[in-house]
Structure 1
Amino acid sequence: MAESAKSKGKGSRNIRQMGYTDLEDFFLSLDEKKFRVRQVWEWLWQKHALSFADMTNLSKELRQKLGDNFTLPALSIHSTQYSSDGTVKSGFKTHDGHLCEGVLIPTEHRYTACVSSQIGCSLSCRFCATGYMERQRNLEFDEIYDEVALINEQCERIYGKKLSNIVFMGMGEPLLNYKNVLKAIERITAEDGLAMSPRRITVSTAGVAKMIRQLGDDKVKFKLALSLHAANDTKRNEIMPINETNNLKALIDALNHFYKETKNEITLEYILFNNFNDSLKDADELIKVYRQVPADLVNIIEYNPIDFAKFEKPTEKRMTEFMDYLAKNKVNARLRKSRGKDIDAACGQLANKTSELGKTEPVELKA
């Protein structure tokens, strides 16, 4: 398909920000037949056209009129890296020159897209590469849709399969881009979109209690993951500044509200840091939180080193002891081995290495 850019349309309005009825009104003003609306809609949301020139079953004249009235600022793939384990990391370029990253993660039974919701991040989590970047802006819903569509095209080309799952675990905090994330999921799950099941989508949050409650009020159908990483407020404040205004009690209350309203699956994510949150006392605190939340699963994640944080992965022995203690206390937990580490595509490593990072000082954890 043709390379995408804002200049592909001379108009000022993004055509994908329009609803179907709005497009009908526009075509009516041109005295065009109604079926043309359906053709354009399919190009935008099912055939993933990156420019009006791609819409080959429309007349040249009609494509010109679309270009005169609208823009189609689709994402383009800026760079691609391939891991030895089959993981693929892509750098996506926006129409205004920003970069964000997404990852295709293949396993034996799943093909998962890990997508970003913001360009950079404002939360400054101490262990996450994206947290050392400035937040440039939110991604628009159609840009998030492009990430999924482009990764799906990669999956079909490389593995001959469509995506089976989507996780919002890339760059940015999804719940601080609430409307665009929900609108993107609406289009991704729509029959006239990518038609993916919402049950195969997980939104991960660092913990914005107010918006977790809003998800419940909005009766969303996708799964939720909380990036916990420490199970007491003192330690969580140290590694995740957001906890200072969204403490564990507020998060526990919000998660219970979310589950009461939706009955959707909740996962707790917990990265193990050597001599910080990996003792049996830490495990006890994690168990206490787990028992207050209707969580289906605790994902214990091995730490992936980044340039700007002096954190270390615990020994295999220490991780095994931690996992065994959780099992002994009837916690449904699994140790998640990260993929794509050799291309900086693993959990916490997305950082747009082709762009400058805003902060460069290493951070050390206190024991």
Structure 2
Amino acid sequence: MAEKVNIRDFDLAGLKAYFEKIGDKKFRAIQTYEWLWKKNARSFDEMSNLSIELRNKLKEEFSLPAVSIDATQHSMDGTLKSRFKTHDGHLIEGVVIPTEKRNTACVSSQIGCSLACAFCATGKMDRKRNLTFDEIYDQVALLNEQSEKMYGTKLSNIVYMGMGEPLLNYKNVLKSIEKITASDSMGMSPKRITVSTAGVAKMIKQLGDDNVRFNLAVSLHAATDEKRDKIMAINESNNIAALVEALNYFYDKTKNDITLEYVLLKGENDTLEDAAELVKIYRKIPTHLINVIEYNSVLGIDFEKSDEDSTQIFTDYLVQHKVNVRIRRSRGKDIDAACGQLANKDK
């Protein structure tokens, strides 16, 4: 028996063509499309303004492999972490981070990760597969529902900083953003979306060629190739010089914001010499911000976070050298929801 086609692979024109082919009215396509993207239906049975006969026909001909919430944990600081289950039984995680000014969703792009960054919990997992564009969209829709229910407000921002490397799932990530920003679905501004990469230089240039409208964050985490090689294997094929070139290319093409992410690891990358090297990189790239990130401990990984004094000395040096820097304090640490901790760990 042939595998059913995912109905969310159809655009509105495709649905209209289908309904015309079966002799039904074209407005049924509009109703179905609204259920899929505006009302976020996760089964054909939810499409209550379609007849039971039509719903059964859709079920016979199409699949609707929606993502569901498997478990949710609540942090003492208000952060929510949800474990999602895909139609084929894989688990991924996403987070809602509420603040006074914004509610941000952190979403995953792959099941596991292939990059094996030494300090990251997700990096210890194998990559099972890429998420499809609609699975990524489902995460955002479900986290948006949680945000409205728990905090009384919709998501204001989305960061692709969960499990996986977004630029190694390029087409699905871009298509998910296309859907999230479309006026006939979620309608979010692309300027409120940030895609984070460990530094895939070739694909950063591709983002420039595609003239994307969202922002870019780069997980740098070390300011020399020698140190970056030790903690991020990707640096062997995408070194700092290649990243500098790619980021300048991206900015020349798009003029979108670029953020450098730098997690402070005790005794590894937190000295004044490291700060001086980081300033040099900052000067070479049109970076609008460096996020200095507090490291979050991971069971079985030996890295430690820098102490408060070292963190302050490091960031003070950056400020003194006219670097726009922000210390990003971790949220959701008590439920393993903070940066680098997503690994489908049981409660």
TM-score computed with the length of structure 1 as normaliser? 0.93
Residue 328 (structure 2) aligns with: 336
* Equivalent position to 1:298, from 290, 297, 309: 290
Residue by residue over 1:18-77, the C-alpha shift from the partner in whole angstroms, topping out at 9 and shown as x without a partner, is 122221111011211111110000000010000000000111011011101100000000
Superposition map of 1:21-170 within 5 A: 21-170=13-162
Give the CA deviation at 1:309: 1.1
Residue 255 (structure 2) aligns with: 263
Q: Which amino acid aligns with 1:88?
A: L
Q: Which amino acid aligns with 1:66?
A: L
- Secondary structure in structure 1 of the residue aligned to 2:101: coil
- Kept in 2, the 8 Å contact 1:11–1:67? The answer is no
* Shift >3 Å, 4+ stretches: none
Residue by residue over 1:211-263, the C-alpha shift from the partner in whole angstroms, topping out at 9 and shown as x without a partner, is 00000000000000000000000100100000000000000000000000000
Residue by residue over 1:67-102, the C-alpha shift from the partner in whole angstroms, topping out at 9 and shown as x without a partner, is 011000000000100000000000000000000000
* Equivalent position to 1:307, from 281, 299, 311: 299
Residue 173 (structure 2) aligns with: 181
Residue 342 (structure 2) aligns with: 350
Residue 224 (structure 2) aligns with: 232
Residue by residue over 1:269-321, the C-alpha shift from the partner in whole angstroms, topping out at 9 and shown as x without a partner, is 00000111000000000000000000000000010000121111111111111
- Secondary structure in structure 2 of the residue aligned to 1:291: helix
Distance 2:300 2:210 in 1: 38
The alignment-based identity, stated in percent, is 65
Bigger drift between 304-313 and 182-191 goes to 304-313
- Secondary structure in structure 2 of the residue aligned to 1:246: coil
Residue by residue over 1:297-353, the C-alpha shift from the partner in whole angstroms, topping out at 9 and shown as x without a partner, is 000001000012111111111111111111110000010001000000000000011
Distance 1:62 1:173 in 2: 39
Residue 186 (structure 2) aligns with: 194
Q: Does 1:206 align with 2:204?
A: no
Q: Does 1:272 align with 2:264?
A: yes
Gaps of 5+ in 2: none
Distance 2:103 2:43 in 1: 27
Q: What is the number of equivalent residue pairs in this alignment? A: 346
Gaps of 5+ in 1: 1-9, 356-367
Residue by residue over 1:177-202, the C-alpha shift from the partner in whole angstroms, topping out at 9 and shown as x without a partner, is 00000000000000011000000000
- Kept in 2, the 8 Å contact 1:11–1:69? The answer is no
- Secondary structure in structure 2 of the residue aligned to 1:150: helix
Distance 1:134 1:352 in 2: 12
Q: Which amino acid aligns with 1:148?
A: V
- Secondary structure in structure 1 of the residue aligned to 2:145: helix
Give the CA deviation at 1:11: 6.4
